[in-house]
Copies of this chain bind each other. A is one copy, B any other.
């Protein structure tokens, strides 16, 4: 068997599942960032008309999911699996959104790697013909994450230069096996990452904790598929931020597979401008989810990008594990996305 597997870790998807449509809902800070005009919806404030930030995050998931379904031209009942997760304990944003959608629900936890975990699983379920349409979601919210992982906002705590800013945002994508119209992109390969931990213990430096996992997955994918960094118009990481991205470049250099710096972008660095005072960049499940859906997929659809490697990265610690002195394990999942129009293109908007 194993005709659908290349090497140790990479899955080849002969049916090339399509991403039919994506939607991205973000908060006001993200709306003021460099990608602000691309998002489907920018909320007026962080509460989005709800009584708690948790309810606001859930509502953003729900609205993004329904928008993606609408844009895909399918009905809610056509979706066979909802694969989703978020950063909150017991992934309540995804679970409670799933309650409203009433779709078969597969809850995921991959920290900030969740969007790609959902794409990896969703694309295999489609490629294997277990579904004709699946919905993938991921979300995060600055205010819910701060309360849960750090301090109540009211404390006004200082942030270190390595700290990242949790993106308030929800991304949703509808994947399909048999698209009736031109897809935004096709998923040709999926690479599920291993948990890697080089001993970083600073919970204010997630980028450093995730970079080794990012390198591990990239090296596996390159080796398995006999490709190199030059074979991709872009390599887009999830939320390594400035510190993590630099470490990834260093790690890949030291492994003899240097990345091409100006073709290696990070969603956490794309979403905010330096003037927005977000230190090392954006983070959170929502970060790569909204950048993928609002910024990368449209450029793939138009042929401005031909083939990209999209990889979300996650830090798998909890406040409890950190209090108990544990270091921070990282994980990174990747998919290869192809434009329906062009095989290769570097005339993208970056």
Enumerate chain A interface residues (CB-CB to B < 8 A): 1-5, 9, 11, 51-52, 54-55, 80-81, 85, 88-92, 95-96, 98-99, 102-111, 117, 120-121, 124-125, 127-132, 148, 177-178, 192-197, 316-321, 324, 326, 329, 331
4 other contacts beyond A9-B104, A90-B317, A96-B195, with CB at 8 A cut-off?
Answer: A99-B316, A105-B194, A109-B109, A128-B128
Contact among B128, B193, B194, B196 for A124, CB-based, below 8 A: B128
- Chain B residues with Cβ below 8 Å from A105 are 192-195, 331
- Chain B residues with Cβ below 8 Å from A331 are 95, 98, 105, 107
CA distance A194 to B194 in the complex (A): 29
CB <8 Å contact, B108 and A109: yes
Contacts A99-B197, A104-B192, A195-B102 hold; do A130 and B11 have CB atoms under 8 A apart? yes
CB <8 Å contact, B89 and A89: yes
- Chain B residues with Cβ below 8 Å from A128 are 4, 124-125, 127-130
CB distance from A253 to the nearest CB of B (A): 23
Contacts A9-B104, A102-B194, A130-B11 hold; do A316 and B95 have CB atoms under 8 A apart? yes
CB <8 Å contact, A85 and B109: yes
Shortest 6 CB-CB distances between A and B: which pairs?
Answer: A128-B128, A90-B318, A104-B192, A95-B316, A99-B195, A89-B89
